[in-house]
């Protein structure tokens, strides 16, 4: 099957400076490509044309299962911040108007408690390479010098390598997979945000499928509440502009995160 010609606004177009032509990066991406192709061929007898899409889902689940220890560390960090929140509020009140001194005293306090204010960012950092790999696999017509046959795969008639706006230009028949994924992602993001609010008492929750950088005891600046309220939905906007395969990864990872946090919070809070 011939590869589709990249659309002028497609994520699958070639850029003047392509970092993925750098030998080490190309080798890693080619290895990932081989894994996805092999898994797609393995499940093709019962998955049909959606084999590559299902392969992305299965790989996402495997990655998230491997990152369970990271999720445990994140929930423990949230519990630690909740325990330290009263003392942090005292420091903020005591050193109000002295930001540099407050920052130094806060870091000293975290060090004394053997805690890290950045511990909740671990899931985001750990998943970033995987999301980048999935995005890249479906955003290049060539990988390591050979044709990228993943761009010929579809989900519900929509190309895994095209984004929502490119598909809109080809007609409405293949748009429904994007709309379903975006709606599901928005729902999971909101459920995750509400669960975080209940758990931490914070007005803003983390982006679904990613880490949390705000903890209880860190009050939002005036005018920031609205921004923090909608910040988690940036992932939905990203999914609309990303290849369909990357959006599929985000939805699967976000749903896993929601369930994982619900279980770990019950277990570790004891």
Instruction: Write the pLDDT tens digit of every residue in 216-243.
Output: 444 444 455 666 678 888 999 999 999 9
Residue span of the structural domain in which 162 resides? 20-268
- Number of structural domains (the chain) is 1
Closest alpha carbon to 210 in 168, 254, 171: 254
CA 133 to chain centre: 12
In three-state secondary structure terms, 159 is strand
Q: Is residue 201 part of a domain?
A: yes
Q: Is residue 166 part of a domain?
A: yes
Is the distance from CB of 163 to CB of 19 less than 8 angstroms? no
Sequence-distant (6+) residues with CB within 8 A of 81 are 115, 117, 120, 200, 215, 216, 217
The DSSP letter of residue 153 is -
Q: Which of 95-104, 110-119, 213-222 has the lowest mean pLDDT?
A: 213-222
Q: Is residue 15 part of a domain?
A: no
* Per-residue model confidence (pLDDT) at position 216: 40
Is the distance from CB of 137 to CB of 32 less than 8 angstroms? yes
Sequence-distant (6+) residues with CB within 8 A of 269 are 79
Measured in degrees and rounded to the nearest 5, phi and psi for residue 143 equal -135, 120
Confidence category of residue 81, pLDDT binned at 50, 70, 90: confident
Share of the chain above pLDDT 90, in %: 39
Q: Which residues of 67-80 are buried (b: 16+ CB within 10 A; e: fewer)?
A: beebbebbbebbbb
Is the distance from CB of 9 to CB of 121 less than 8 angstroms? no
Q: Is residue 78 part of a domain?
A: yes
Tokens, residue 222: 């005036």
User: How far is residue 183's CA from residue 161's CA, in Å, rounded to a whole number?
Assistant: 19
Please write the tens of the pLDDT for every residue from 10-38: 444 444 456 767 788 889 999 999 999 99
Q: Is the pLDDT confidence value at 42 over 80? A: yes
User: How far is residue 71's CA from residue 27's CA, in Å, rounded to a whole number?
Assistant: 29
Q: Is residue 126 part of a domain?
A: yes
In three-state secondary structure terms, 142 is strand
| Average of per-residue pLDDT across 121-139 | 82
Q: Is residue 12 part of a domain?
A: no
Q: Is residue 204 part of a domain?
A: yes
Helix (H) or strand (E) holding 179: helix 176-200
In three-state secondary structure terms, 175 is coil
């Amino acid at each position: 099957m011939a590869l589709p010609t990249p659309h002028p606004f497609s994520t699958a177009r070639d850029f003047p400076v392509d970092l993925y032509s750098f030998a080490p990066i190309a080798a890693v991406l080619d290895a990932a490509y081989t894994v996805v192709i092999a898994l797609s061929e393995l499940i093709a007898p019962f998955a049909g044309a959606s084999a590559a899409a299902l392969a992305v889902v299965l790989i996402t689940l495997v990655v998230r299962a491997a990152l369970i220890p990271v999720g445990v560390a994140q929930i423990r960090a949230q519990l630690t911040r909740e325990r330290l929140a009263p003392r942090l509020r005292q420091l903020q009140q005591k050193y109000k108007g002295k930001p540099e001194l407050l920052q130094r005293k806060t870091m000293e306090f975290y060090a004394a408690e053997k805690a890290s204010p950045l511990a909740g960012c671990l899931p985001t950092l750990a998943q970033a390479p995987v999301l980048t790999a999935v995005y890249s696999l479906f955003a290049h017509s060539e990988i390591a010098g050979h044709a990228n046959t993943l761009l010929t795969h579809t989900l519900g008639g929509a190309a895994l390598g095209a984004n929502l706006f490119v598909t809109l230009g080809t007609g409405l028949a293949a748009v429904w997979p994007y709309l379903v994924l975006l709606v599901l992602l928005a729902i999971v993001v909101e459920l995750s945000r509400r669960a975080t609010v209940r758990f931490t008492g914070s007005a803003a929750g983390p982006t679904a499928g990613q880490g949390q950088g705000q903890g209880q005891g860190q009050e939002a600046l005036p005018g920031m509440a609205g921004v923090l309220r909608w910040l988690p939905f940036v992932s939905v906007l990203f999914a609309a502009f990303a290849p369909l395969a990357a959006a599929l990864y985000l939805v699967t990872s976000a749903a896993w995160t929601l369930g994982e946090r619900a279980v770990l919070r019950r277990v570790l809070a004891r």
